Amino acid sequence: MLPSSRDQRSATSPYSAPGTSGAEAKASTRVDCAARLLRDGQSVTEAALAAGYANPSHFAKRFRLRHGQPPRAWLTGGE
């Protein structure tokens, strides 16, 4: 039995680590981009919008999933 085209795409995707979907890889890349913008002095809203999030609340949720804390706490060193 041949693998489905979806299996082939995920198995050969240059953008995601093994066991990671393309959507997860894209979300991680967007959060990482926003994190760089935060370190460069942009506000949470500015960084979220620049990274492609239409809703800063959704960005904060994704950020917390990736980094274990909200963007402002991460920026201030978890304090």
pTM over 0.85: no
The alpha-helical segments, DSSP class H, found in 1-75 are 5-12, 22-39, 44-50, 56-67, 71-75
pLDDT, one tens digit per residue, over 37-56 is 999 999 999 999 999 999 99
CA distance 34 to 11: 27
22-75 under CATH 3.40.920.10, yes or no: no
For residues 6-20, average pLDDT: 54
| Segment 15-33 mean pLDDT | 78
- CA-based nearest residue to 35, from 46, 22, 19: 46
Range of weakest confidence among 10-24, 34-48, 50-64: 10-24
What is the residue extent of each domain of the chain?
22-75
State how far the Cα of 13 lies from the Cα of 48, in Å rounded to an integer: 26
Query: By mean pLDDT, which of 13-17, 46-50, 52-56, 62-66 is the weakest?
Result: 13-17
